[in-house]
A and B are shown apart, each in its own frame.
Chain A
């Protein structure tokens, strides 16, 4: 009898969960010939790529031929060729701009499609569920089905809504979200908007979405939306300061606002800024979760409190655009963290063998994975707790961080020692200082009460009403 129970789960759902197949299982179950053929093809590709890379690195084919790892160089070449056509500089600008823009857009678009599937599947895995697995193989077509559903839905305009301001925000949040990808370097010299003020550009463009969100909330003529919008505005404005302060530190160390140069600095010095500036990394990442409304700072659209926040009243593809922007922003923050703190497209020399943009995409996806991880793990802060955290903890500590790193930078500029020694010592000093500063400041700012863990409930020594309760309380 015992066996029957353990063999056959009682419910269809449980049976399904046990019988489910993963991608790995499918790969394992593939016929041997397919496996062999697949491995041969993969190995061959790797070998060919390595060979080409070897020749390119040696410079034998440089300037003559470009493989898929060097799209940046290829674009540069194309630009030079177009300039020689002599139709004016606008031709090369337009052509390369279109190609680059299309490349970025297709990457983000593809990611938006696959990203929601990844997020839902991963969340399901974290939550011991199955996730979408009905539409297409492993549910891969689910995002397309979702998009189709959203497009078919009626677009509702709430009564009393400000029509103009109600229609604009879905587009207005989409534009900065796409524009902000511009300065990210995908490979040496391969960025869509290679401007000197790249870092400032990113910060300023992302700050534009505040207004779109406020417009969405205000024009909906709905209290939930307004509450969500005001929460978002307050939070985003507050958290822009720690973000800027943590990025100023990056600028101090690398001496450039150009994202490509920041990455190049990390590649040249063979060090990731995450090691040098642990506090900035934390500040940036945490504040970014507030900027893009991800857990644990998703109070702007806390569904248990204010339903969907500022986009409560949006339906159909308008809501879909908000959701898409949210997804895209998560990946974008992943890409920013990778660029500023995790070495960007560089991987300690490996970027000469693996396409650099693949490395960056992998790092950005890792950041995205961390977001999903947090979302499935952490509860949500309250708005006043978040604001307190920004103004009382993050900002003072960030300013101290700027001061420390400024001193270190001036030391590095004057000290004639091996770079590895300088930055190694800075990394050690920064880690120690961060720990000390965070602990001290937490005490100073009165955080100590939460350090002590709350006590578990006690066992009642007697049974009774109010008198018993008072006696127990007095006795304890």
Chain B
């Protein structure tokens, strides 16, 4: 016999510090317990997929910047790989190396952001976030050096990359690569042994491997649950088959594991970048393709392992210069769908931390 209470509705968002963008959750709460949640997306909808049907394949690359705005390079890479398979374009080897370097840099930057905001959601007042921003800042400087933009890079092209990095890029990159393992160790010291942080994240938002597979989770959220699935290993693209790296997986599938998996993946990314820089061949960075690429009619699903997981692009060509259908399989949207199960019965604080650990980007959810 519990006290009869009246559930009430809490409207989290669209403007709320912990929704990571314009995203709304309608929470039915009983005291501090969440009874049910209702996720309402669409506040950032820009009709990307429809607009893309009016633009050429190259013109669509900027859309991928703005879909997952924290991992523009990965989005670029995904679209380019799909379009190249559709149009059967060969990519020079140097371009592949450059792509891998930038995609992994982007992964480090994105994971820094994800982990930083997760800890911010847990209540550490922005300090870890800003610490992690130091490295992200350097990576963004490298992007700026190379392609002039920091966030919406628009760097990759069908058939290669847009620009050769400037000469000062390489020493700066090496310096960063040397510095990063130290920094990552610093974060581990700062946070992974912190009693409060452990208390807030251990056994919170636990996803079993079965649930993860059923919920079609991807990326660190999936690996945090202990499922060893990484497209870079399972279905290597670019030059990932030549790289030595490990796939870290979590033990319990809780928030802490997802956090730790991201940190460990950052380490692996540094490894990959180092190998790529050491082995990068000389040559052209781009194959020339016609301005208006007209692939033969057909369809293709190209996918890459973005920072948030499997980022897929489904392209259908009718032989014209623009795709007949352009669909983005956004990892954030699909990972988010499990939040409802996780949040039910949890307290508000736990739900916020769980949401942070799933690491959504609203631009990608709404497209």
A107 within 8 A of B: no
User: A127 to B130, alpha carbons, bound, how many Å?
Assistant: 6
B126 touches A463 (CB 8 A): no
Residues in A neighbouring B9, C-beta threshold 8 A: 223
Partner of A463, one of B199, B234, B261: B234
From A127, which residue of chain B is reached at the shortest CB distance? B130
B229 touches A465 (CB 8 A): yes
B10 touches A223 (CB 8 A): yes
For residues 204 through 260 of chain B, which have their beta carbon under 8 Å from a beta carbon of chain A?
A: 209-210, 213, 223-230, 233-234, 246-251, 256-257, 260
Residues in B neighbouring A380, C-beta threshold 8 A: 122-124, 196, 200, 349
From B120, which residue of chain A is reached at the shortest CB distance? A304
User: A98 to B68, alpha carbons, bound, how many Å?
Assistant: 62
Count A-B pairs with CB separation below 8 Å: 174
Q: A377-B127, A465-B229 are in contact. Are A457 and B196 (CB under 8 A)?
A: no
User: A9 to B141, alpha carbons, bound, how many Å?
Assistant: 9
Residues in B neighbouring A11, C-beta threshold 8 A: 137, 141, 144
B228 touches A460 (CB 8 A): yes
User: A382 to B123, alpha carbons, bound, how many Å?
Assistant: 10
Partner of A465, one of B213, B224, B249: B213
User: A305 to B348, alpha carbons, bound, how many Å?
Assistant: 7
B229 touches A306 (CB 8 A): no
Interface size range on A against B: 35 or more
Residues in B neighbouring A463, C-beta threshold 8 A: 228-230, 233-234, 247
Partner of B248, one of A296, A305, A459: A459
- Chain A proximity of B218: nearest CB distance (Å): 12
Interface size range on B against A: 35 or more
User: A376 to B229, alpha carbons, bound, how many Å?
Assistant: 37
B32 touches A227 (CB 8 A): yes
For residues 262 through 317 of chain B, which have their beta carbon under 8 Å from a beta carbon of chain A?
A: 264
B163 within 8 A of A: no
A123 within 8 A of B: yes
A60 within 8 A of B: no
B16 touches A307 (CB 8 A): yes
A414 within 8 A of B: no
B350 within 8 A of A: yes
Residues in B neighbouring A466, C-beta threshold 8 A: 209-210, 213, 227
From B188, which residue of chain A is reached at the shortest CB distance? A456
User: A1 to B172, alpha carbons, bound, how many Å?
Assistant: 10
Q: A459-B247, A466-B210 are in contact. Are A378 and B196 (CB under 8 A)?
A: yes
The 5 closest A-B pairs by CB, nearest first: A380-B123, A460-B228, A10-B141, A127-B130, A469-B209
Name 19 extra pairs, CB < 8 A, besides A454-B192, A476-B251.
A1-B171, A11-B144, A126-B127, A127-B131, A299-B349, A302-B123, A378-B123, A378-B124, A379-B119, A380-B124, A382-B349, A457-B251, A463-B247, A464-B228, A464-B234, A465-B229, A468-B229, A469-B227, A473-B209
**29 residue pairs A–B, Cβ–Cβ below 8 Å:** A1-B168, A1-B171, A10-B144, A123-B125, A127-B126, A127-B130, A128-B130, A223-B29, A302-B349, A376-B125, A378-B194, A379-B194, A380-B122, A384-B32, A384-B347, A453-B198, A456-B260, A457-B260, A457-B264, A458-B251, A460-B230, A463-B228, A464-B228, A464-B234, A465-B213, A466-B227, A469-B227, A469-B228, A476-B251
